[in-house]
Amino acid sequence: MMIVDLIDQHDFRERLVALGVRVPENACPDTCARMALTKHVEVGVPGLQELVRELVLKSDVMLPSVRQALDKYLLPGLR
């Protein structure tokens, strides 16, 4: 049996924090995505577009709440 590590809100937050986005510890995926987009618009977040592309390719192992946050905020905001 193969065990897959799902991309959850904590993974999503940690990846954004690694890019320099300050996100509260228990932030939901929507808050994480909004804060990342706001910082990207204000000053830029190097690597954010690449991260979003990577996550979209892994949507089959992503929790729906993370995918919805990407769809709602980051995908339209980074176009």
The pLDDT tens digits for 6-61 are 899 999 999 999 999 999 999 999 999 999 999 999 999 999 999 999 999 999 99
- 21 belongs to a structural domain: no
Task: Give the domain range for residue 49.
Answer: 30-79
Phi/psi of residue 66, each to 5°? Answer: -70, -45
pLDDT score recorded for residue 1 = 59
Per the domain annotation, does 2 fall within a domain? Answer: no
Residue 6 lies in a domain: no
Residue 45 falls inside a structural domain: yes
Whether 15 contacts 33, CB under 8 Å:
no
pTM beyond 0.85: the answer is yes
- The verdict on residue 17 lying in a domain is no
79 domain-assigned: yes
pLDDT of residue 5: 79
Q: Is residue 25 part of a domain?
A: no
CA distances in angstroms from 36 to 1, 2, 5, 40, 69, listed in the order given: 36, 33, 23, 6, 11
